[in-house]
Amino acid sequence: MRKKNMSKDKKNIVSIFTGVIFLLLLLPLLLKGVQTVQTLLTKAAGVKANIAVDTKLVFEPIKPSWKSFAQGGEESTDMVAPVVAKMAALDPKFIRIDHIFDHFNVVERDTSGVLVFNFSELDKILISIKKTGATPFISLSYMPPVIAETGNVTDKPKDWNEWATVVERTVSHISGQDELNFTNVHYEVWNEPDLFGGWKYFGDKNYLTLYTYSVVGAKRAQNVNAFKIGGPATTQPHKNWIIALAKHVVANNFPLDFVSWHRYTTDPTKYAQDVADVTKWLLAYPTILSIPRMVTEWGFDSNMNAGYDGSLAAAHTAATVRQTLSGITQLFAFEPVDGLDPEGKTYWGRWGLMTHPTKGAVVKQRYHAFSILNQLKGSRLFVRGEGTWVTAIATKENDTVQVLLINYDLSDSHVESTPLILTNLPNGTYQLKKTTLRQTLSILDPQPLEVTNNTYQSQEIMTSNSLVLLEFTLTQTATASATPITTVASTSGQLP
């Protein structure tokens, strides 16, 4: 009996020992699992904002890179004409169009096989763009069927010299001093070549060949105003594409006046990362390192999404601009005007800032986001204390300080009471103007505000996917000597 019990005890000891060894081996995985859970919980909880602005810490003048737009090829008509006034109100710098050759019947052949050109339909949209105050930004796309290898608009041409002729005649017409006489037109070689046509940067269907003959044609244009040419306008900034194009233009002494790409993402910080990546890739090519970076289409989803019809698109717009205030020369929001829903719906998740003209060209919240951004002026101020959801842009011009608060939340559920403090304000009387975009646009009449102790503090309720613009304008400086400046507690944040 005793031996039996001892045997059982040994088995228990062995079992316990084995269990301990197993736990020791498992411990790193358990710890890793705990860390992962903690990380996920932290991300889920997020960091609330605590916005602090020092009105004496001034950066560079704010650059309105957001004032460019890309109209998609929704219809083979002039889609800008019905919305000229509404687009003009956004003060656009460029309006980009593609499908210029296949939608507007620019190129045909006569009975003898010679290429003939008719720009009358294309001219309509170019003139409409001019009426908005913008300059046309031309995507040289797609292949005219009469010169395409199989007649498909995403083909390469049967004869590359004919493509060069098409580009030459297009540049001569749009930028020609004796024709439309536009200045500073940007010609972008193709639209999303990695998607539309399956172009590569090598092989038989080579984008570098397309770029080469585009440059050849553009250079042949005579008596033209200054223009720019660039690319590659890929669906995102592909490293191999950009390096291949950079190497090609440097080796051949070709112009590359701007580098362009597209980006659709729900993460606004990705836009800033793209710029850093492109700069890193171009370091080996110093002669083109400083060329403008242009995102010639952008949004939060390349597919149709109901968020484009509401506040999500508006908040994403402002949050993206916040992340791209440095490094990107122009952001081209896709797109000004919706296409027409085949089922007749007014709102159908299309990308437009406005509904289709037959549906009233009703402006959406994303349109209002651009109008709010357009109010920013002067130079940027240093901002501390941005959070996971709420970020901010602050500016100063003369006696006016502006703070734009942005609550971008993909889940459309986060509400936050955000502390705001402005320091180093001159004491005195201010007019405080407040503009909010929460489901609807609201502009409150300016209210008088007394600033003492050189400080303004408030709590701003930021509902999900909302914008709040506060504008402080000094109207009368206090005559009494200023009291000591209140210091601001250190808060988490990020540099511009």
Q: SS in 3 state form for the chain?
A: CHHHHHHHHHHHHHHHHHHHHHHHHHHHHHHHHHHHHHHHHHHHHCCCCCEEEEEEEEEEECCCCCCEEEECCCCCCCCCHHHHHHHHCCCCCEEEECCHHHHCCCEEECCCCCEEECCHHHHHHHHHHHHCCCEEEEEECCCCCCCECCCCCCCCECCHHHHHHHHHHHHHHHHECCCCCCCCEEEEECCCCCCCCCCECCCCCEHHHHHHHHHHHHHHCCCECCEEEEEEEECCCCHHHHHHHHHHHHHHCCCCCEEEEEEECCCCHHHHHHHHHHHHHHCCCHHHCCCCEEEEEEECCCCCCHHHHCHHHHHHHHHHHHHCCCCCCEEEEECCECCCCCCCCCCCCCCCCECCHHHCCCECHHHHHHHHHCCCCCEEEEEECCCCCEEEEEEEECCEEEEEEEECCCCCCCCEEEEEEEECCCCEEEEEEEEEEECEEEEEEEEEEEEECCEEEEEEEECCCEEEEEEEEEEEECCCCCCCCCCCCCCCCCCC
The pLDDT confidence band at residue 496, using thresholds 50, 70 and 90, is very low
- Could you tell me what percent of the chain has a pLDDT over 70? 88
In terms of pLDDT, which residue wins out, 43 or 38? 43
- Whether residue 374 is predicted with pLDDT greater than 80 in this model: the reply is yes
Residue-level pLDDT at 488: 36
- Whether residue 29 is predicted with pLDDT greater than 70 in this model: the reply is no
Among 6-20, 122-136, 245-259, 319-333, the range scoring the smallest mean pLDDT is: 6-20
Is 68-373 in the same CATH topology as 45-62+379-477?
A: no
Residue-level pLDDT at 478: 86
Average pLDDT of the residues in 263-290: 98
Average pLDDT of the residues in 465-478: 96
The pLDDT confidence band at residue 44, using thresholds 50, 70 and 90, is low
Residue-level pLDDT at 64: 96
- Whether residue 148 is predicted with pLDDT greater than 50 in this model: the reply is yes
Q: pLDDT digits over 302-339, tens only?
A: 999 999 999 999 999 999 999 999 899 999 999 999 99
Residue-level pLDDT at 480: 54
Residue-level pLDDT at 333: 98
Residue-level pLDDT at 35: 37
- Whether residue 221 is predicted with pLDDT greater than 80 in this model: the reply is yes
CATH classification for the domain delimited by 45-62+379-477, as one of 2.60.120.10, 2.60.40.1180, 3.40.50.300, 2.40.37.20: 2.60.40.1180
Residue-level pLDDT at 25: 37
Among 32-46, 119-133, 310-324, 464-478, the range scoring the smallest mean pLDDT is: 32-46
Q: Rounded mean pLDDT of the chain?
A: 90
**Domain 68-373, CATH:** 3.20.20.80
- Whether residue 36 is predicted with pLDDT greater than 90 in this model: the reply is no
- Whether residue 482 is predicted with pLDDT greater than 80 in this model: the reply is no
- Whether residue 7 is predicted with pLDDT greater than 90 in this model: the reply is no
- Whether residue 262 is predicted with pLDDT greater than 90 in this model: the reply is yes
The pLDDT confidence band at residue 21, using thresholds 50, 70 and 90, is very low
- Whether residue 485 is predicted with pLDDT greater than 70 in this model: the reply is no
In terms of pLDDT, which residue wins out, 16 or 175? 175
The pLDDT confidence band at residue 282, using thresholds 50, 70 and 90, is very high
Q: pLDDT digits over 96-128, tens only?
A: 999 999 999 999 999 999 999 999 999 999 999
Residue-level pLDDT at 489: 36
- Whether residue 234 is predicted with pLDDT greater than 60 in this model: the reply is yes
Residue-level pLDDT at 439: 84
The pLDDT confidence band at residue 9, using thresholds 50, 70 and 90, is very low
Domain ranges of the chain: 45-62+379-477, 68-373
The pLDDT confidence band at residue 136, using thresholds 50, 70 and 90, is very high
- Whether residue 4 is predicted with pLDDT greater than 60 in this model: the reply is no
Residue-level pLDDT at 2: 34
- Whether residue 5 is predicted with pLDDT greater than 60 in this model: the reply is no
